[in-house]
Structure 1
Amino acid sequence: MATIVMEKIGRVFISLQQIREVPRILTEAAPSMPGTVRDTEVPSYFRERHVCTGYRPLNQHWKYYFLSLFQRHNETINVWTHLLAFLILLVKLRQLSETVDFVSDPHSWPLLVLVLSSLIYSAFSALAHLLGGKSELYHYVFYFLDYVGVAQYQYGSAIVHFYYAVDEGMHRHVSGVFMPLATVLSCLSCLGCCFGKYCNHNLPSWVRKVCQVVPSALAYMWDSSPVAKRLLSWSSSSNDPAISYHFGQVAFFLSCAFFFTCPLMEHCLPGRCDFIGQSHQVFHVFLSCCTLCQIQASYLDFVARRELYSSLHGSSEAALFVGLYALTLVVCSMIAAIMLRKVQRMLDSRNKSN
């Protein structure tokens, strides 16, 4: 028995050793891949505050940026945090599909929207950090796509909070406006993020942060208001299996909001967080944890509060809210496309003047 166990441990060790060799094998397979450069060697709009090295050179072949997934640079951790989150969410979706009838149960559709919107934002974020360094145009393309992903995830959060977490009193007051306003705020969030990125050349960095943070903060406060009301009215004597996950998602979100707005790690250790330790990396980790807590809380509400939400929401409301999700996705995509046209005009004008 001991021999069998030792053989299995040895196989695992060998497998781990092989995985660790992947970056070296890829580097040897593509010896012409250029190394990273300093911040002074890339345009200002690619630079992150207090991140001095690890930037990938611009205008390389697409193959270089895809293979840089296994290269050490200052975006490696940002890519992998959301790529791993995407894979975990896929596993979570498969687990949920074993117990939830996403096809014929309309009451499950808000939960499905949340999981799908989580998959989309994590995938778009990973793409932005992986491929957004190719050129100035593609920097805008992929980050606008990232903002679309964030906005539609905000709507996904709103739909589960209003559908599963709301109580009767709040539902009476906001039932006709909650989801339409959530759609408007998601679109404004996308517009603010895209506009802040577009004006990156002309405005101070704090103005860009305001454009990105204020609409998103308003959307979060509105979308999470049913959860906030529920947490404030919670007592220790109540039996609520989802409450700890709701507390968790709020705590993780507030933490990731702090690290998004304040580059604390880089500021305290300038030049030492170029590869790992950046505040944005911590933001990614906390956001992924927030999403997982949110999905679990929504699933537990879906199971435990069915009598309540089925009485509050008519059979056609779930389909209506899914339709609003599709509308949110379309409008946010249009906003990104319009802003991208403005970017192309700006770049064309600059090239002509040069």
Structure 2
Amino acid sequence: MATVVMEQIGRLFINAQQLRQIPQLLESAFPTLPCTVKASDVPWVFREPHILTGYRQPDQSWRYYFLTLFQRHNEALNVWTHLLAALIILVKWQEISETVDFLREPHAQPLFIVLLAAFTYLSCSALAHLLSAKSELSHYTFYFLDYVGVAVYQYGSALAHFYYAIEGDWHTRVQGFFLPAAAFFAWLSCLGCCYGKYASPGLPKFAHKLFQVVPSGLAYCLDISPVVHRIYSCYQQGCSDPAVAYHRYQVLFFLISAYFFSYPHPECWFPGKCDFFGQGHQIFHVFLVLCTLVQVEALRIDFTERRPLYEQLHGDLAHDAIALFIFTACCSALTAFYVRKRVRTALHEKEE
């Protein structure tokens, strides 16, 4: 009996010794990261108005920037909001795929595209905020990737709205130009954002914003028009369509997010107080995520409940729409690649 007890005590002692090693193992796996620095300690391209501290040091290893996912810095919340939202989209995708055959059902393909587009823009945004601090070229590269993701999402949203949310009379008015125009405005948005970023050293801050906001605003006005018309028609008829309620929230959340994207509130009122939490861009991220999630739910309901209407309106349009989606993504990616090449040349000339 005594021998058994001593064996048990010995095992407990060994387990206790192993438990003491856990902090050391964690420390070796996640080494102490360099402290964040002030705005004055990083190149101007990394600085944000009214954000005074919490910047990550440039010219570190890639491993460092990936590990900053678990560090407190002024981009951490921007990374996590879109990273978690991307994971939620994957879960929604899996749930919908249990009842919808995306490969064999042509009318489900626009729903597949908007889910893919949402996941793409959220993932690209998370990568941009996580990895752009490595160098000036990395900063431009990852934000150009972010702009490609935004263009892809703009066209994906336009396609899904046109396919599932549109009413018959609005379809008659816009069917001849809607999708080509949506593709053009999506590409124009990518071009405007990339050029505004590239030319920002010689532009006032408001001009830089104009290159981003105006093309994106034009794209949104077209892309959301089937939804706005649907909401107005429902209001006139006094309908109680559950999808329309989600569409209303989609518009509301987007307008709130657009406001916080365009204006640096509240950090302009409290410089240095919103460096880690409460920045306007963080609020923009939160409301844009809410917009995306309610949009996906609204389109899921429309896909289920409005099948007779969209089958009658669109026929075999889905195949052409997919081709236009791929074309838009390729044009946006080539545009971003070209502007990145210009940035790289400019940076090399500056170093010389």
Give the TM-score taking structure 1 as reference length: 0.91
Q: CA deviation at 1:31?
A: 4.1
Counterpart residue type for residue 42 of structure 2: V
Q: Which moved more, 1:165-174 or 1:340-349?
A: 165-174
Q: CA deviation at 1:45?
A: 1.2
Counterpart residue type for residue 183 of structure 1: A
The match for 2:190 is 190
Q: CA deviation at 1:265?
A: 1.4
**Pairwise mapping of residues 244-255 of structure 1 onto structure 2 (< 5 A)?**
244-255=245-256
Q: CA deviation at 1:147?
A: 0.2
Q: CA deviation at 1:153?
A: 0.2
CA contact (8 A) 1:51 1:270 kept: yes
Q: Which moved more, 1:68-77 or 1:168-177?
A: 168-177
**Pairwise mapping of residues 1-354 of structure 1 onto structure 2 (< 5 A)?**
29-235=29-235, 237-315=238-316, 317-352=317-352
SS in 1 for 2:82: helix
The match for 1:14 is none
Unaligned runs of 5+ in 1: 1-21
Q: Return the alpha-carbon distance in structure 2 between the equivalents of residues 117 and 23 of structure 1.
A: 41
Q: Return the alpha-carbon distance in structure 2 between the equivalents of residues 242 and 96 of structure 1.
A: 16
SS in 1 for 2:242: coil
Q: CA deviation at 1:234?
A: 1.5
Q: CA deviation at 1:237?
A: 3.1
Q: Return the alpha-carbon distance in structure 1 between the equivalents of residues 292 and 214 of structure 2.
A: 21
1:264-292 CA-partner distances (Å, limit 9, x unpaired): 11112211111111111111110011001
SS in 2 for 1:115: helix
Counterpart residue type for residue 267 of structure 1: C
Q: Return the alpha-carbon distance in structure 2 between the equivalents of residues 149 and 90 of structure 1.
A: 16
Q: Return the alpha-carbon distance in structure 2 between the equivalents of residues 123 and 268 of structure 1.
A: 31
1:294-329 CA-partner distances (Å, limit 9, x unpaired): 1111111111111111000012x1011011100010
Counterpart residue type for residue 310 of structure 1: E
CA contact (8 A) 1:253 1:287 kept: yes
Q: Return the alpha-carbon distance in structure 2 between the equivalents of residues 217 and 50 of structure 1.
A: 25
Q: Return the alpha-carbon distance in structure 2 between the equivalents of residues 302 and 164 of structure 1.
A: 6
1:35-71 CA-partner distances (Å, limit 9, x unpaired): 1100000111110111000000110011100000000
Q: Return the alpha-carbon distance in structure 2 between the equivalents of residues 85 and 23 of structure 1.
A: 31
The match for 1:6 is none
Q: CA deviation at 1:94?
A: 0.6
Give the TM-score taking structure 2 as reference length: 0.91
Counterpart residue type for residue 115 of structure 1: L
When residues 295 and 216 of structure 1 are mapped into structure 2, their CA distance, relative to the original with a 3 A threshold, is: same
Counterpart residue type for residue 157 of structure 1: S
The match for 1:9 is none
When residues 97 and 59 of structure 1 are mapped into structure 2, their CA distance, relative to the original with a 3 A threshold, is: same
Q: Return the alpha-carbon distance in structure 2 between the equivalents of residues 214 and 302 of structure 1.
A: 31
CA contact (8 A) 1:27 1:33 kept: no
When residues 178 and 296 of structure 1 are mapped into structure 2, their CA distance, relative to the original with a 3 A threshold, is: same
CA contact (8 A) 1:165 1:301 kept: yes
CA contact (8 A) 1:100 1:108 kept: yes
SS in 2 for 1:268: coil
Q: Return the alpha-carbon distance in structure 2 between the equivalents of residues 206 and 24 of structure 1.
A: 49
Q: Return the alpha-carbon distance in structure 1 between the equivalents of residues 33 and 26 of structure 2.
A: 10
When residues 27 and 275 of structure 1 are mapped into structure 2, their CA distance, relative to the original with a 3 A threshold, is: farther
- Count of aligned pairs between the two proteins: 330
When residues 268 and 128 of structure 1 are mapped into structure 2, their CA distance, relative to the original with a 3 A threshold, is: same
Structure 1 segments of 4 or more deviating over 6 A? Answer: 22-25
Q: Return the alpha-carbon distance in structure 1 between the equivalents of residues 23 and 191 of structure 2.
A: 38
CA contact (8 A) 1:161 1:226 kept: yes
Q: Return the alpha-carbon distance in structure 2 between the equivalents of residues 24 and 52 of structure 1.
A: 34
Q: CA deviation at 1:151?
A: 0.6
Counterpart residue type for residue 48 of structure 1: E
Q: Return the alpha-carbon distance in structure 2 between the equivalents of residues 85 and 26 of structure 1.
A: 28
When residues 245 and 24 of structure 1 are mapped into structure 2, their CA distance, relative to the original with a 3 A threshold, is: farther
Q: CA deviation at 1:100?
A: 1.4
The match for 1:17 is none
Identity of aligned residues (%): 52
Q: CA deviation at 1:26?
A: 5.7
Q: Return the alpha-carbon distance in structure 2 between the equivalents of residues 203 and 341 of structure 1.
A: 20
Q: Return the alpha-carbon distance in structure 1 between the equivalents of residues 273 and 123 of structure 2.
A: 28
